[in-house]
Amino acid sequence: MSEQNNYSFFNSVERSFDKAAKFTQWDPGILEQIKACNSVYQMRFPVRIGDRIEVIEAYRVQHSHHKAPCKGGIRFSLAVNQDEVMALAALMTYKCAIVNVPFGGGKGGIKIDPKKYTEYELEKITRRYTAELIKKNFIGPGTDVPAPDYGTGAREMAWILDTYVAMHPGEVDAAGCVTGKPVSQGGVRGRTEATGMGVFFGIREVCNMKDTMDKLGLATGLEGKTVVIQGLGNVGFYCAKYFRQGGCKVVAIAEFEGAIYNPDGFNEEEVFKHRKSTGSLLNFPGATNLVKNADALELDCDILIPAALENVINAENAPRVKAKIIGEAANGPITPEADENFAARGVLVVPDMYLNAGGVTVSYFEWLKNLSHVRYGRLEKRFSENMNKHILGQIEELTEKKVSDIERNFIEHGADEVDLVHSGLEETMITATREIMEIWKTNPQIPDMRTAAYVCAINKVGTSYAELGIFP
């Protein structure tokens, strides 16, 4: 339960679901089935840490089996509990449906503070957790495929893969049992930056919609918009990078220790280096310190990006938030009460379960790569380059004009893996944004974009159940 509310994170996902279900035509039984968590695996296992034995609490939840495998990250955090993992697994189901990634939702969590352990101890915990998943058939390329989440990354995914492979010798598709792996272990180029890049593509598409910007009193397009980012982890860092490159000014960045503000904007690389060398964001040259990091959420800006944890914007602070657009890069950063406040004040909340879907979208590309056993672009890159050279040569010969070297490199270039992954992600985020906005526009009773996104998800999962048929 959060401090302000008497309902849990999973209840809040259920509330958002119920709000949207009213705008769909599904049988109540189907709606109940979509909403329920199908399997919840709670485990305790012992790990020797130094000279003592620690009993570790962990979870894996498979929210929906309407498609296989289940998909979703594993987080390492002291805040992990069953309710949180259930809520996050449910969000994964809806997220995958919206971006047409053919997976059911899943999520895992280990209740530890990863900073308190050595690398060797973390490896032991991760490998033991994987073994527990294997025992109960809760991991595998066709059953359930974990990925990074809060507190985990490519290193942990490599340990999971290695444990799985060791226990499934000869399984030809074993590399598809986990995504977010290092590229040398079957990962895909472009996965690391995928979530932040997806957030950027989604918000850019929203900002390119003139009618939406007119309603908010903002100019169309991203150019010159001010952005505040809460969290400088993987997602926040790449959000800052792409918004800056897209013509925005990142005027504030917040982390545990506080926040920094500069109306002229920050370069995230410099801020990252400063934090690494001094251990804190604070005292960045030329910036004003905000000692309470929550104050950054209330700064004057066009776009606010919460990119850390859930429930950071609630009934108490929502009325003081001045941003016109809030892009939920984290999962569940806004409580339902805060949502109501924003809807009433005409603040546009671009919801998590579609906006942060870039990670799982590129995980899907990685899984496809693993099952096809070939790097993207390997077959066609050289062919395209030869063809492009030939076409350009012909044009130059006929027109008797030469293009510049920069243009030549750009036109002749055949797509590499990272080009294909980025463009696949861009296409996915643009299509999803338009689909959700279309639902919202054609049904004016829908109060906010989150509800429209849920309607989109419920209709897709509902269709899947209806087509599967329900056992008699």
Only one of the segments 69-77, 163-171, 210-218, 244-252 lies at the binding site for ligand GLU (rule: CB under 6 A); that segment is 69-77
71 binds ligand GLU (CB under 6 A): yes
Only one of the segments 66-74, 219-227, 339-347, 458-466 lies at the binding site for ligand GLU (rule: CB under 6 A); that segment is 66-74
140 binds ligand GLU (CB under 6 A): no
* CB of residue 94 to ligand GLU, shortest distance in Å: 11
* Burial of 101 per CB tally in 10 Å (0-12, 13-18, 19+): buried
Token pair, residue 463, equals 């269709």
By the 8 A CB rule, do 64 and 135 touch?
no
* CB of residue 59 to ligand GLU, shortest distance in Å: 14
Pick between residue 274 and residue 460 the one whose CB is nearest to ligand GLU. Answer: 460
DSSP per residue, 33-90? HHHS--EEEEEEEEEEETTEEEEEEEEEEE---SSSSEEEEEEE-TT--HHHHHHHHH
341 binds ligand GLU (CB under 6 A): no
Only one of the segments 40-48, 284-292, 352-360, 415-423 lies at the binding site for ligand GLU (rule: CB under 6 A); that segment is 352-360
179 binds ligand GLU (CB under 6 A): yes
> Which residue in 73, 65, 79 sits closest to 33, CA to CA?
65
Site for ligand GLU (CB under 6 A): how many residues? 11
Which residue among 63, 65, 72, 341 contacts ligand GLU (CB under 6 A)?
A: 72
Nearby residues of 23 by Cβ (< 8 Å), 6 or more positions away = 443, 445, 446, 451, 455
Q: What are phi and psi of 232, to 5 degrees?
A: -115, 40
Only one of the segments 21-29, 40-48, 54-62, 65-73 lies at the binding site for ligand GLU (rule: CB under 6 A); that segment is 65-73
Only one of the segments 5-13, 133-141, 238-246, 354-362 lies at the binding site for ligand GLU (rule: CB under 6 A); that segment is 354-362
149 binds ligand GLU (CB under 6 A): yes
331 binds ligand GLU (CB under 6 A): yes
Which residue among 9, 58, 70, 73 contacts ligand GLU (CB under 6 A)?
A: 73
190 binds ligand GLU (CB under 6 A): no
Strand partners, 348: 325
The DSSP call for residue 264 is T
Tell me which residues are annotated as active site: 107
Handedness of CA 20, 353, 6, 311 (dihedral sign): negative
77 binds ligand GLU (CB under 6 A): no
* CB of residue 432 to ligand GLU, shortest distance in Å: 13
**Angle separating helix axes 417-442 and 194-207, nearest 10 degrees:** 40
Handedness of CA 456, 461, 465, 468 (dihedral sign): positive
332 binds ligand GLU (CB under 6 A): no
d(CA 461, CA 103): 10
In the stretch 358-377, what mask flags binding to ligand GLU with x, by CB under 6 A?
Answer: -xx--x--------------
Nearby residues of 99 by Cβ (< 8 Å), 6 or more positions away = 354, 357, 360, 361, 428, 429, 432
* CB of residue 372 to ligand GLU, shortest distance in Å: 18
By the 8 A CB rule, do 34 and 82 touch?
no
The DSSP call for residue 185 is G
Pick between residue 150 and residue 284 the one whose CB is nearest to ligand GLU. Answer: 150
Q: Give the binding site for ligand GLU (CB under 6 A).
A: 71-73, 147, 149, 179, 331, 356, 359-360, 363
